[in-house]
Amino acid sequence: MNQPLSNASKSKEASEGSSKKGDHDLVQRVQAGDSAAFRTLYDKYHRRAFAVAMGVVKNEDDALDAVQNAFIKVHKNIHRFQGSSSFYTWLYRIVMNVSIDHVRRTSRRKTLDFDERALHEESEVAGDGALVPRVTDANPGKAALRRELGSAIQAALAQLPEHHRAVIVLREIEGMSYEEMAEALEVPKGTIMSRLFHARKKMQVELAPYLSGEVVSED
Amino acid sequence: MDSPEKEDEKLQMFFDGELAPEEEAAVRRSLEGSPKAAAQLREWEHLRTAMKSVATDWAGEIDSDALFARIENEIGAPVVPIARPKLEQPGLRVIPDGRERRVWGGVATGFAAAAAIFLAVMAWPEPHLDPSPIVRGSQVLEADFGSNTGTIFEVEGGAGQSLAVIWIDDEEVGLP
Residue A218 pLDDT level (bands cut at 50, 70, 90): very low
| Most confident option among A15-24, B34-43, B103-112 | B34-43
The whole-angstrom separation of Cα A219 and Cα B56 is: 11
Q: Does B114 touch chain A (CB under 8 A)?
A: no
Q: Can you give the CATH number for the domain in which A37 is found?
A: 1.10.1740.10
d(CA A137, CA A134): 9
pLDDT at B145: 67
CB contact under 8 A, B55 and A60: no
Instruction: Note whether A117 and A154 are same-domain residues.
Output: yes
* CATH number of residue A204's parent domain: 1.10.10.10
Indicate whether A1 belongs to any domain.
no
Predicted local confidence at residue B72, as pLDDT: 93
Domain total in chain A: 2
| Nearest partner of A176 among A82, A79, A96, judged by Cα | A96
The answer to whether the CB atoms of A5 and B31 lie below 8 A apart is no
- Is residue B33 predicted with pLDDT exceeding 60? yes
Which residues of A are less than 8 Å from B47 in CB distance? 172, 200, 203-204, 207, 211
Out of A76, A193, A207, whose CB is closest to B50? Answer: A207
Q: Which residue has the higher pLDDT, A211 or A51?
A: A51
> Of A92, A110, A128, which residue sits at a domain end?
A110
pLDDT tens digits for A63-101? 999 999 999 999 999 999 988 889 999 999 999 999 999
Per-residue confidence at B170, pLDDT binned at 50, 70, 90? low
Which of A110, A127, A142 is the last residue in one of the domains?
A110
* Whole-angstrom distance, CA of residue A203 vs CA of residue A197: 10
Please check whether residues A101 and A147 belong to one and the same domain: no
Q: Which helix (H) or strand (E) holds B163?
A: strand B162-172
State which residues form the domain around A149.
112-219
Q: Which helix (H) or strand (E) holds B168?
A: strand B162-172
pLDDT at A43: 95
pLDDT more than 90, % of chain B: 30
Do residues A88 and A191 share a domain? no
Burial of B50 (0-12, 13-18, 19+ CB in 10 A): buried
- Which of A104-118, A185-199, B63-77 has the largest mean confidence? A185-199
Picking from B24, B41, B68, the nearest residue to A42 by CB comes out as B68
Cα–Cα distance, A13 to A54 (Å, whole number)? 25
Within a 13 Å sphere around the CA of B172, how many CA atoms are in the beta-carbon half? 17
Q: What is the DSSP letter of A218?
A: -
Per-residue pLDDT, averaged over B145-172, amounts to 66
Q: Binning pLDDT at 50, 70 and 90, where does residue B148 land?
A: low
Out of A33-42, A188-197, B140-149, which region has the weakest mean confidence (pLDDT)?
B140-149
Residues of B in contact with A64 (CB under 8 A): 62, 67
Q: Which domain-ending residue is among A85, A110, A135? A: A110
> A213 and A179, same structural domain?
yes
Residue of B nearest to A176 (CA): B16
C-alpha to C-alpha distance for B117 and B111, rounded to whole angstroms? 10
Verify that A121 and A215 share a domain, yes or no: yes
Q: Which residues contact A52 (CB under 8 A, 6 or more apart)?
A: A92, A95, A96, A99, A169, A170, A173, A174
Nearest to B47 among A51, A64, A211 (CB): A211
Mean pLDDT of B21-48: 93
Residues A155 and A194 in one domain: yes
Burial class (CB in 10 A: 0-12, 13-18, 19+), A147: buried
**pTM beyond cutoff 0.80:** no
- Cβ-contact A59, A155 below 8 angstroms: no
- Give A140: exposed, middle or buried? Use CB within 10 Å, 0-12, 13-18, 19+: exposed
Residue B112 confidence (pLDDT): 79
Confirm or reject contact between B70 and chain A (CB < 8 A).
Answer: yes
* B30 vs A137: which has the higher pLDDT: B30
Q: Same structural domain for residues A80 and A149?
A: no
Closest-CA residue of chain A to B14: A4
Give the confidence band of A149 by pLDDT, cuts at 50, 70, 90: confident
C-beta neighbour count of A159 within 10 angstroms: 12
- Residue A160 host element (H or E): none
Full DSSP string of B107-161 = HHHHHHHHHHHHHHHHHSPPTTT--SPPPPS--------TTEEEEEEEEE-TTS-
Mutation site for A-interface testing, chosen from B8, B28, B31, B61 by largest number of A Cβ within 10 Å: B61
Contacts of A27 (CB under 8 A, 6+ apart): A37, A41, A78, A81, A83, A87
The interface predicted TM-score (ipTM) is: 0.74
- What's the whole-number mean pLDDT along residues A49-74? 92
Residue B34 in contact with partner chain A when CB distance is under 8 A: no
Three-state SS for B76? Answer: helix
pLDDT tens by residue, B82-126: 454 554 444 444 455 555 556 676 777 777 778 878 787 777 655
Q: Say yes or no: A183 and A93 in one domain.
A: no
CA distance A22 to chain B (A): 21
**How much is the average pLDDT of A107-128?**
45
Q: What single letter denotes the amino acid at residue B76?
A: G
pLDDT at B139 over 70: no
| Domain co-membership, A75 together with A148 | no
Quick one: pLDDT at residue A165? 93
Q: Would you give the DSSP letter of residue A3? A: -
